[in-house]
Chain A
Amino acid sequence: MKNVRIWFKKDFECRYISHLDLNRTMLRALHKSKIPIWHTEGFNPHPFATFPLPLSLGFRGVNECMDVRLEDDDYSFQEISERLNACLPRGIRVFDVTEAVMKAGKVAFASFTIRVGVPDKPSSLVAAQLDRLLSRESIEIEKKSKKGMKTVDIKPGIHAYKITEQFDVAVLDVLLSAGSSDNVNPNLLIEALTRETGMAYEVDITRKCAALHSVVSSISRFATMAITTSAAPHVAATPTTASASLASRSSVE
């Protein structure tokens, strides 16, 4: 029995499926691949898989992962990767399999690249708007909760950002709080922007990676790293280069 972490990209058509659908698709691919994975015991045994941090519908993910427990240790990581890709839709591609070094439940940050544009408006305008919003002391947002609408300040959850311009869109690279307690969904940022300017933005969001709290002793150092690798997101696509991501075997300190 061995826990493994399966690394994949979620893009193209598969961008548009929910976390639950992704879960089903992954389990079905595992079943089809005949890689023996551990099933829960009980009345209705089902294959066991965990995702450290669900990805919202519509986002691309370039460093997503899922943990499963293998019942048979004979499979090489290479073989798992190949077998799974043969069973997955083209929008999900496994690019690495590693040992599950750190506990998945302790995700605290996630970094995103958000491309924002408005048809027929220059990227400089949007970049300036983003800059103005993010320079604020607080960014308040109306959030639906069980007890009705609630005002939340998302500013403390924004740890670092960088705004650049690329052709007709502004590109925001940002490090946000993530996980079960203080999650900031990047859609909230866009919502705040829309409320402020009244413009209809076209938005394309990519999650680059998620990181553990324990890994990051100094947020600012991690932030600098997360932001700089973001200029060329494909560089961060393998867990070895995105060293602060869940795959890291040595921490960033």
Chain B
Amino acid sequence: MVSKEVERLLLKVQKPGRYVGGELNEVIKNKRDVEVRFAFCFPDTYEVGMSHLGMKILYSQFNSVPYIWCERVFAPWVDMEAEMVKHRIPLYALESGDPLSAFDFIGFTLQYELSYTNMLNMLKLGNIPLTTAARGDELKHIVVAGGPCACNPEPIADFVDLFFIGEGEEVDLEVMELFRTCRAEGVDKPAFLRRCAQIEGVYVPSLYETAYNDDGTIQSFTPRDGAPAVVHKRLMLDMDTSYYPDTFVVPLVEIVHDRAVQEIFRGCIRGCRFCQAGFIYRPVREKSPETINAQCRALCDNTGYDEVSLSSLSSSDYSQIVPLLEQLTAWTGEEKVSISLPSLRVDGFTDEIMNKIKTVRKSGLTFAPEAGSQRMRDVINKNVQHDELMQTCATAFAGGWTTVKLYFMIGLPTETMDDVADIAHLGQDVVDTYYRTPNHAKGKSVRVTVSASSFVPKPFTPFQWEPQDTIPVLHEKQQHIKASITSRKLQFNYHDADTSFLEAVFARGDRRLCRVLALACERGFHFDGWADCFDLSKWMALFEECGIDPAFYANRRRRFDEILPWDHIDYGVKKSFLIEECQKAYENTTTPHCRLACAHCGAAKYGRGVCFEKRQDLV
């Protein structure tokens, strides 16, 4: 629903279809029939936010409850923002067109650190005061947040009333229910938040005090008013009965991932040491092929999409991938639906899988060896061998593929310049493999793209204590790869090191960064994840103004016994396990994945998932 005032702006901005709602399957309710109004905010553009699976799940689930109306809010692109500010139009939700101030809850999903400024900017555009303190005691405008960045909530602790730790399906609804009760009882916001803190998986940052040592590290972290000393994550244990939408809002304009998305499992068995997702979503919990098949079919029927993407952290690790593809291809061909299988591992691309995805549509192939040398891959526990990669590429080339993308990281712990040069060498080996494959596509040349991003150490990984390489070192490594490439069949691109640096600051930051963010918002910072808007020199000026050294967060090696800003949050993986893994990395030693042997990370305490599967070698 678009107001007359907004309509006047729409023809002045790019892609106005992003600001109007009115899509197929959008949920419209009568305001008078609902008790709780929830504004689900994605702190990025419509095209990015509408592609996000978590939002689709929670949007549908909230709206399946009769007393809740959940609406969508996205960050307006800079041209629209300027028009809205100029004409004093507050940020509004797409379904009702109502401003943020009309909502009981304003919820954000935090997928990446660089969206923090967008979150604050959206509050500002909605005329919602930025901090918990400034919003007052009345039981309204409760700002909540979840998503992977909630695992270190501290840099945004002043702005968010409560965080959902872990998976949201159950805990979100428990909080809504409590809100309903509190409103009926006439309870104020501080009291409501104190009661929320008793719900497992809810973190209320205003109930904790931090003290610091002289060297800037954390001295203590103290809860008050009965808040728990450690907040434990929530997770869905039975994926087959867990809520999954049978329909998506189908956008009118093209979005980043314009297709149906079907989740096949959560978590990852691998334990790559740089990967936060690989630890915070433990243990692996799979859906059955039957559930997946039925859910895929419902999604296609209800949306009209002709493509389904099977989503997980590592598709080929789904234990029943072949039976699943068989069930799916039984109807997808007839209904002209194609299946895409992203996140394939190098060692998981078999003939059988290849032939199944080939029957529908041939998309490009992307693999992530992550590091160039075998030693480096052992350090990060990638568990991929050089020969496996070549074998896989040969399989793909024999199957007619001619383009392969390879993803790498630079700046990994213990990395040397020789390791870095090996990234280029590995790319070259793939090119050579193409010409050695006897039945590669006739008369066609091969194209191998090598992409290098800069490593950002993240909380809850074995590398959470590691310093990030400084920007000059990262630049040097980028140039070294470039210089090591000799073939024109090999294309090299790399991510901007500046953004990775800022990401590293906020990923492992503490509450003192709130001041920097508040000031950034005041100065109009937004869309830091977009090259159009990001400017590190402006950030450096802000840090200086606030008397904060960003290198303290990004480039400092922490001691294992240091109190980390996120130590009061529990994702099921023990700190002692992360330390062990870090030490094994220094010794170039790998850890077998969950299906081969239990590494005793701690996630077995949840009592379900891969920890209780029969191991392959024991069957």
Contact = CB atoms under 8 A, between A and B. Distances in A.
Interface of A: 12-14, 16-18, 20-21, 24-25, 28-33, 39, 44-45, 47, 57-58, 87-91, 202
Contacts of A33: 304
Contacts of B76: none
A14 B20 CA distance: 9
B303 A39 contact: no
A112 to B, nearest CB: 16
Contacts of B301: 32
B592 interface: no
Residue among B15, B21, B252 with max Cβ neighbours from chain A (10 Å): B252
A57 B361 contact: no
A25 B252 contact: yes
A13 B20 contact: yes
Nearest to B19: A16
A12 B97 CA distance: 14
Given A16-B16, A28-B305, A202-B8, 14 more contacts: A13-B21, A16-B17, A17-B253, A21-B17, A21-B254, A25-B252, A28-B303, A31-B305, A31-B306, A31-B336, A32-B303, A47-B336, A57-B16, A87-B24
Contacts of A32: 301-304
Nearest to B337: A31
A130 B506 CA distance: 57
Given A25-B252, A28-B250, A16 B303 contact: no
Contact of A87 (B10, B252, B304): B304
A12 B24 contact: no
Nearest to B306: A31
B252 A89 contact: yes
A168 to B, nearest CB: 14
Contacts of A91: 22, 252
B95 to A, nearest CB: 11
A195 B444 CA distance: 54
B11 interface: yes
Interface in B1-28: 2, 8, 10-11, 15-17, 19-24
12 contacts: A13-B17, A13-B20, A16-B17, A17-B253, A21-B17, A25-B252, A28-B305, A29-B304, A58-B10, A89-B23, A89-B252, A91-B252
A29 B24 CA distance: 9
B22 A89 contact: yes
Interface in B305-360: 305-306, 336
A17 B306 contact: no
A93 to B, nearest CB: 12
Closest 7 interchain pairs by CB? A13-B22, A32-B304, A28-B304, A13-B20, A16-B16, A17-B17, A31-B304
Contacts of B8: 202
Nearest to A86: B24
Given A14-B252, A17-B253, A58 B11 contact: yes
A44 B360 CA distance: 9
B335 to A, nearest CB: 8
Interface of B is mostly: loop
Contacts of B16: 16, 57-58
Contacts of B21: 13
A13 B252 contact: yes
Nearest to B338: A44
Given A13-B22, A14-B22, A16-B20, A21 B303 contact: no
Contacts of B10: 16, 58
Residue among A14, A32, A44 with max Cβ neighbours from chain B (10 Å): A32
A30 B335 CA distance: 12
Interface in B265-303: 301-303
Contacts of B305: 28, 31
Contacts of B336: 31, 39, 45, 47
A24 B250 CA distance: 11
Nearest to A205: B11
Nearest to B305: A28
Contact of B254 (A20, A31, A39, A58): A20
A25 B252 CA distance: 6
A47 B15 CA distance: 25
B187 to A, nearest CB: 39
B250 to A, nearest CB: 7
A17 B252 contact: yes
A91 B20 CA distance: 11
B445 to A, nearest CB: 19
Nearest to A90: B22
